[in-house]
Structure 1
Amino acid sequence: DNFNLYQLKKEAIENSIYGVDIDIGAVEIAKLRLWLSLVVDKGFEFQQEKLLSEVWTFEDLDIKEKIEKIGTPLKDWDVNINYGIKTGFNEAFIIDEKTRQKILNNCKTEEEKKRTEAIIKPVLRGRDIKRYYYKWAGLYLIYIPWHFPLHKDKKINGVSMKAEYKFKKIYPSLYNYLFLYKDRLSKRNKAETNIRYEWYVLQRYASDYYDEFEKEKIVWTPVDSEYKFAYLPIEAYLLNSIFMITPKYEGNKFLKYLLAVLNSKLIRQYITLGTNLSREGVYAYGSKEKIEKLPIPKIPEEKQKPLIELVDKILELTNREDYEYRPDLQEKVQQYSKQIDQLVYKLYNLTDEEIKRIERKLKNDK
């Protein structure tokens, strides 16, 4: 029938026809004509804007349409998606354990020490994010909002000398540390520093969602073309090179299910094929704009359990201190990941032939 003829022609074009020409462009044009003839045979209808804004090839459009029909865009789940902190000058605000201890030891009283310790938070950078897990480098963020410590006073509009006076009085050790960087901190974004906010505060401090950093979360870095999503069960602050997904409501238990789907081969391929590197003004890879549109199937909690259990097994191994030095543990994680891939294929009702196409495109992926 026509469908089998289409499949036969598609397989031949994809695997059995090779071209040679002095002009390599002629070969590419010939390939395009063959694929166009295939599209005509099957009667595909597609919008021009899809081809302009994305890089899905004609033979993959059926998989794309199936994924989007079955899944619900991530932005329509009960989640918040935000990015991390922008310090404007990492050298001052990102510190190691030695510097942290020095600041705390210079506190005059135990009360000052407790206050100071409370605003020095563990922080993660983009390079610390792995697939499923994170590798903390022992670094901290000095978290100082605009107008601190009067940051909750809504009447303050613009730089506040009163706030600086209070900061110096209540946090003298921390003030003295930051004062060493005052000249360079004052040169950050001259249109704002010492105009909208004080020289000693963070440039962008997540004013509307800073409490999200204290929740469990999924994180990723948008400029990593391998699309690694990690799970953070602990309080951890993030630099603006990282985005995070947090549940809107307490009691939501689907984060690990989302993590499994996001780290699957199928979704990685979906992100890859939906990325047009020629677009300007957005990250080339996993921007918030792109990730929030990912279609994830909404299924009952009971059906999420097999994926969640596999994620728990992966996290148990990846959280071990010796994980990165143990090929045997890494092999187990690969086995669990393959099981997740198969379950995700089933979520989207992919056929064996469609799965083979995805696997073939990602045969070198690990």
Structure 2
Amino acid sequence: MPNSLDLPSEPSKTRVVVAMSGGVDSSVVAALLKREGYDVVGITLQLYDHGAAVHRRGACCAGQDIHDARRAAETIGIPHYVLDYESRFREAVIDRFAESYLSGETPIPCVECNRSIKFRDLLATAVDLGADALATGHYVASRALPDGRRALHRAADPERDQSYFLYATTPEQLSLLRFPLGELDKRETRALAREFGLAIADKADSQDICFVPQGRYSDVIERLKPGAVQAGEIVHVDGRVLGEHRGIVHYTVGQRRGLGLSVGEPLFVVALDAERARVVVGPREALATRIIPLRDLNWLGDTPLDAIGPEGLEVAARVRSTRPPQPALLRWSEGAAGVELLRPEDGVSPGQACVLYDGEGPRARVLGGGVIARREALVAAA
């Protein structure tokens, strides 16, 4: 039987841990690998106090999902374990999420969860169990390079591609990670779930951040950091004070609705000034930017960063998970990375990710990415 995971041993002698969230995708991965003859072990992580989320649609890693993962493992016929990672998840993901929001950023906790929990802690656990690989249900692809390293690629289906959330994966982690759904779309995955007799074949995809009920970030932050949310002024980019707000955590860059202003023109949030507790608003054109300084760059490309000349390296940059990559230049100078977009983008927000690819289309290779440190507005804010 062919080794679909590109591992040195035949499937019957290859142990693979599958991260089972209780959803359709990871359950299908476990079933596919079991059918191919791999020694499959399913692991589900309990990441937070799931009491309030047991019956909430759109959650993940909560009580109902743990039950669904256990039932899927029984159907497939593989051992299944639930590991309590609540304290690790709180420290590495939830607390950082709250601190980032309070500093005026718009963080992506899924990136940190993948980086710190799934691809660090869980991967170490998989190795301790004697696994040759950790497989997940992400819609991305991992392919071997001529020098033996592995590269991360966008999924074949751009509508399902999750590479934006995995840019921080390291080369060492990629050597042990496998993503069997990279060439499938969701329709095909659900068809396989029915073929395998999985009860969750029609289960809805998770929508919200798992620890943020109904998407109300401010409620979570106020509970985690009582007294930390400060009221302040809403200021126009031209310096006019237009009103007051209850805390910058209630706003995100690009937001138009819910500002509570009546000034006769459409206004958008263009910046959050945590130091002065200010929400800065302005016309749509004030959202545009082309220059994006990055921090915490994770580089997966072949060109050494120090070899990138002053003219920059041509890349395709993606500044939101919901937007396609667009042409850009990556610049590297004295240990600092920055991206210059060839066309301005609206709503670029500090704390979000800027992910870099070697092209704009499906299956493009992920070259890395970083956290947007700030944005250089084309229209200056007050």
> TM-score w.r.t. structure 1 length?
0.22
More strand by share: 2
The structure with more radius of gyration: 1
> TM-score w.r.t. structure 2 length?
0.21
Q: Relative contact order, CA 8 A, sep 6+: which one is greater?
A: 1
More helix by share: 1
